[in-house]
């Protein structure tokens, strides 16, 4: 069984925010909520580094552990999803999450926050119809056999999404070959100009 | 001075510079060709090293930290969330249950062994006014709100383990969202009323010297003896001052949690949540004791808070110093009953009929 994970290669991220935009567009996320964010450390300094962050779909998810309504669940693919019909907007997941993934459309008096929204790994959520699912949670690309749009659209392939083992292998190969004179691009039959996405994923 | 520099010299200098440049370029080419990948990797990688991650974990963002999300007050990784989760789930939640269950068990055991504390002497039938209508309205309003807040709060902490599997998602959804709404909207009302009650009952609860004696004798809870007590005895004063300290802490932390519109930081809300839970669970446990003593545990106590009047015997035995102050105002219960009838005449359908 796959264990879906995101991984952002900080050496490659150029803080173009394409992932943020792609996510917003793919999921029609409501106003005020931005499921993915790009963090830049030491901006403008020589050691500047950027990394794209959203829900990390933790194995031992803190949001899941503290939710008073128990609205979270983990899919067979290891994706952490939540049921908006059960969410009461208490904000506990927001307190617990180390990555700032859960967000609320409102922040009003008497704890009126509305329903929590977070990255679904483009896997939608529980609903009676496809329309309702899209309305509440956004796209379900996983059901269509596609990966999250943020990673698919990442221009430098910094953001990887997929089975943990696969993306770990990709990253490992990058680390090993990083700085190599061919930059790990050559010797890959599928690494042509139109198909750069497959560069390091394939054996050389 | 250099105006008359001969052309020859200029040409020679330029060619020297050109040769040096060429050599430099050649050398740099050579360096690249000879570099080993490991060394190159060391240069190519900007400093995403242990220091950077240590800085991230510490929560210190620095002046050149950027987050593309509007109004984001998050660091890259916020370790405090996990700390809060561990405190809440590993300590507050299980120990809260132990404290509440332990308190109920102790009360039950006490009741089984010692039973209800009955009046030693027969009632005189003469009544003393203990709680005015306003006192009682305030008490029961605060008491009702306390119970609603306790039940909904407990549901927020423990409900998912019991009611979600028991009732299924549909009923559970309305149950838990109702709990949150009641808790968040009634909390502020409770706060205001509790502060009014604390202000109103302050004069009865100032510590006195005889309270010390009361504690040393365990309040006369067990056995026949009675201890000196004024309007409020030592135990009641402890309950009062618990509400005036821990209760106010619950209120303050509750306001931090209930009004995120003021933009308080998440870390502040994490601590407020822990304080709120610990203090509220503690008060709930003590409230069990208060409820027991006020109803089942002591004969005659509930009469005071329901009718406003207590029997002379009860006053003499439980609050002797207060009894000495007010004994002249005692009134006969039949007199009080007839007064009550005059004030609230029973419905007489005959008088409603015209003619």
Q: What is the DSSP letter of B54?
A: H
Q: How far is the alpha carbon of B197 from chain A, nearest alpha carbon, in Å?
A: 23
Which residue has better confidence, B59 or A77? A77
**Cβ atoms of residues B256 and B272 within 8 Å:** yes
CA dihedral for B65, B66, B67, B70, sign (positive or negative): positive
Q: What are A74's strand-pairing partners?
A: A80
Q: How many CB atoms lie within 10 A of CB B159?
A: 22
Q: Lowest-confidence range among A65-79, A184-198, B89-103, B174-188?
A: A184-198
**Mean pLDDT value across residues B257-284:** 96
**Mean pLDDT value across residues A103-132:** 96
Among residues of chain B, what percentage have pLDDT more than 90?
A: 63
**Mean pLDDT value across residues B28-48:** 53
User: Which range of residues forms the domain containing residue B212?
Assistant: 89-331
Q: How many CB atoms lie within 10 A of CB B262?
A: 9
pLDDT (0 to 100) of residue B296: 94
Q: Determine, yes or no, domain membership for A194.
A: no
Could you give phi then psi for residue B195, rounded to 5 degrees? -65, -40
Can you give the pTM of this predicted structure? Answer: 0.83
CA dihedral for B308, B309, B315, B320, sign (positive or negative): positive
**Mean pLDDT value across residues A69-73:** 97
pLDDT (0 to 100) of residue A198: 46
The number of distinct structural domains making up chain A is 1
At residue B9, does pLDDT exceed 50? Answer: yes
Instruction: Answer whether A46 sits within 8 Å of B46, measured CB to CB.
Output: yes
Residue A7: which residues within 8 A CB-CB, separation 6 or more? A159, A160, A161, A167, A168, A171
**Cβ atoms of residues A12 and A157 within 8 Å:** yes
Which residue has better confidence, B8 or A82? A82
Q: Determine, yes or no, domain membership for B140.
A: yes
pLDDT (0 to 100) of residue B25: 58
Cα separations in angstroms, A117 against A72, A98, A114, A135, B311: 12, 16, 9, 12, 60
CATH of the domain at A32: 3.30.70.20
pLDDT (0 to 100) of residue B349: 47
Residues of chain B contacting residue A38, judged by C-beta atoms under 8 Å apart? 67-68
Residues of chain B contacting residue A174, judged by C-beta atoms under 8 Å apart? none
pLDDT (0 to 100) of residue A191: 46
Q: Around B76, how many Cα atoms within 13 Å sit in the side-chain half-sphere?
A: 24
The number of distinct structural domains making up chain B is 1
At residue B44, does pLDDT exceed 90? Answer: no
Q: Determine, yes or no, domain membership for B280.
A: yes
In terms of Cβ atoms closer than 10 Å to its own Cβ (0-12, 13-18, 19+), residue B25 is exposed
Summarised one tens digit per residue, pLDDT across range B162-199 is 999 999 999 999 999 999 999 999 999 999 999 999 99
Residues of chain A contacting residue B268, judged by C-beta atoms under 8 Å apart? none
Question: Can you state the angle between helices B248-258 and B266-292, rounded to 10 degrees?
Answer: 140
Which of B39, B176, B184 is nearest residue A111 as measured by Cβ atoms? Answer: B184
At residue B28, does pLDDT exceed 60? Answer: no
Q: Determine, yes or no, domain membership for B247.
A: yes
pLDDT (0 to 100) of residue B6: 65
pLDDT (0 to 100) of residue A60: 95
Instruction: Answer whether A68 sits within 8 Å of B157, measured CB to CB.
Output: yes
Q: Determine, yes or no, domain membership for B309.
A: yes
Which of B64, B77, B260 is nearest residue A98 as measured by Cβ atoms? Answer: B77
**Cβ atoms of residues A200 and A187 within 8 Å:** no
Which residue has better confidence, B54 or A133? A133
What CA–CA distance (Å, rounded) separates B289 from B99?
12
pLDDT (0 to 100) of residue A192: 46
Instruction: Answer whether A49 sits within 8 Å of B48, measured CB to CB.
Output: yes
Q: Which two tokens stand for residue A7?
A: 């991984």
Q: Determine, yes or no, domain membership for A87.
A: yes
Give me the count of residues in chain A. Answer: 204
What CA–CA distance (Å, rounded) separates B239 from B245?
10
CATH of the domain at B300: 1.20.950.20
**Mean pLDDT value across residues B20-26:** 64
ipTM of the complex: 0.84
Which residue has better confidence, A174 or B111? B111
pLDDT (0 to 100) of residue B56: 81
What CA–CA distance (Å, rounded) separates B116 from B293?
9
pLDDT (0 to 100) of residue B2: 46
**Cβ atoms of residues B235 and B291 within 8 Å:** no
Q: How far is the alpha carbon of B93 from chain A, nearest alpha carbon, in Å?
A: 10
pLDDT (0 to 100) of residue B51: 78
In terms of Cβ atoms closer than 10 Å to its own Cβ (0-12, 13-18, 19+), residue A189 is exposed
At residue B297, does pLDDT exceed 80? Answer: yes
What CA–CA distance (Å, rounded) separates B68 from B74?
11
Residue B1 pLDDT class (50, 70, 90 cuts): very low
Relative to beta strand B126-129, strand B309-311 is antiparallel
At residue A178, does pLDDT exceed 70? Answer: no
pLDDT (0 to 100) of residue B26: 56
User: Which range of residues forms the domain containing residue A15?
Assistant: 4-152
Q: Is B347 helix (H, G, I), strand (E, B) or coil?
A: coil
Summarised one tens digit per residue, pLDDT across range B197-255 is 999 999 999 999 889 888 888 877 766 667 889 999 999 999 999 999 999 999 999 99
Summarised one tens digit per residue, pLDDT across range A24-69 is 999 999 988 999 999 998 898 877 889 999 999 999 999 999 999 9
Instruction: Answer whether A86 sits within 8 Å of B70, measured CB to CB.
Output: no
Cα separations in angstroms, B309 against B70, B116, B266: 61, 20, 49
Q: Determine, yes or no, domain membership for A176.
A: no
Q: Which two tokens stand for residue B163?
A: 């009611």
What CA–CA distance (Å, rounded) separates A47 from A42?
6
Q: Determine, yes or no, domain membership for B202.
A: yes
Summarised one tens digit per residue, pLDDT across range B303-348 is 999 999 999 999 999 999 999 999 999 999 888 888 777 766 555 5
At residue B8, does pLDDT exceed 80? Answer: no
**Mean pLDDT value across residues A89-114:** 95
Which among B116, B111, B120, B114 has a CA at the least distance from the CA of B311? B120
Q: Determine, yes or no, domain membership for A198.
A: no
Q: Determine, yes or no, domain membership for B69.
A: no
At residue B287, does pLDDT exceed 80? Answer: yes
pLDDT (0 to 100) of residue B92: 97
Which of B37, B46, B68 is nearest residue A38 as measured by Cβ atoms? Answer: B68
**Mean pLDDT value across residues A70-81:** 96
Q: Determine, yes or no, domain membership for A165.
A: no
What CA–CA distance (Å, rounded) separates B172 from B304?
39
What CA–CA distance (Å, rounded) separates A193 from B197?
77
The mean pLDDT value of chain B amounts to 87
Q: What is the DSSP letter of A123?
A: B
Q: Determine, yes or no, domain membership for B8.
A: no
């Amino acid at each position: 069984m796959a264990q879906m994970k995101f991984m952002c290669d900080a050496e490659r991220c150029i803080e173009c925010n394409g992932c943020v935009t792609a996510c917003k567009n793919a999921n029609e996320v409501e106003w005020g909520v931005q499921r993915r964010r790009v963090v830049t450390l030491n901006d403008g300094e020589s050691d500047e580094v950027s990394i794209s962050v959203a829900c990390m779909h933790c194995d031992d998810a803190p949001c899941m552990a503290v939710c008073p309504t128990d609205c979270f669940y983990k899919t067979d693919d290891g994706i952490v999803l939540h049921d908006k019909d059960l969410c009461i907007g208490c904000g506990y997941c927001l307190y617990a999450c180390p990555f700032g993934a859960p967000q609320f459309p409102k922040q009003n008096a008497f704890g009126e926050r509305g329903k929590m929204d977070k990255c679904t790994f483009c896997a939608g959520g529980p609903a009676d119809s496809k329309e309702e699912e899209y309305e509440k949670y956004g796209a379900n690309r996983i059901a269509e056999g596609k990966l999250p749009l943020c990673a698919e659209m990442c221009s430098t392939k910094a953001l990887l999404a997929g089975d943990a083992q696969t993306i770990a292998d990709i990253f490992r190969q990058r680390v090993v070959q990083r700085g190599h004179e061919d930059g790990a691009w050559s010797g890959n039959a599928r690494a042509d100009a139109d198909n750069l996405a497959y560069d390091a994923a394939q054996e050389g | 001075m250099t105006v008359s520099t001969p052309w020859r010299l200029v040409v020679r200098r330029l060619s020297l510079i050109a040769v040096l440049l060429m050599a430099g370029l050649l050398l740099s080419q050579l360096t690249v060709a000879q570099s080993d990948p490991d060394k190159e990797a060391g240069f190519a990688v900007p400093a995403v090293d242990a220091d950077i991650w240590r800085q991230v974990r510490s929560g210190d963002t620095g002046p050149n930290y950027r987050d593309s999300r509007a109004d984001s007050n998050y660091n890259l990784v916020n370790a405090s969330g996990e700390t809060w989760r561990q405190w809440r789930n590993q300590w507050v939640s299980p120990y809260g249950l132990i404290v509440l269950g332990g308190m109920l068990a102790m009360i039950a055991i006490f009741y089984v062994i010692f039973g209800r504390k009955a009046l030693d002497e027969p009632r005189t039938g003469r009544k003393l006014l203990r709680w005015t209508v306003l006192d009682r309205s305030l008490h029961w309003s605060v008491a009702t709100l306390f119970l609603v807040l306790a039940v909904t709060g407990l549901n927020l902490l423990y409900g998912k383990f019991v009611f979600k599997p028991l009732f299924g998602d549909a009923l559970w959804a309305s149950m838990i969202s109702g709990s949150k709404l009641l808790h968040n909207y009634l909390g502020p009302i409770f706060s205001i009323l509790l502060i009014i009650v604390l202000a109103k009952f302050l004069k009865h609860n100032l510590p006195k010297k005889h309270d010390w004696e009361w504690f040393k004798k365990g309040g006369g809870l067990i056995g026949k003896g009675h201890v000196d007590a004024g309007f409020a005895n030592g135990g009641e004063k402890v309950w009062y001052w618990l509400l005036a300290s821990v209760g106010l802490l619950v209120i303050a932390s509750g306001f931090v949690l209930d009004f995120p519109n003021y933009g308080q930081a998440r870390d502040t809300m994490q601590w407020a949540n822990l304080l709120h839970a610990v203090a509220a669970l503690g008060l709930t446990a003590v409230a069990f004791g208060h409820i027991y003593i006020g109803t089942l545990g002591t004969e005659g106590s509930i009469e005071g808070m329901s009718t406003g009047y207590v029997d002379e015997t009860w006053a003499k035995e439980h609050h002797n110093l207060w009894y000495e102050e007010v004994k002249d105002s005692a009134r006969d219960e039949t007199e009080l009953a007839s007064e009550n009838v005059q004030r609230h005449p029973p419905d007489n359908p005959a008088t409603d009929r015209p003619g």
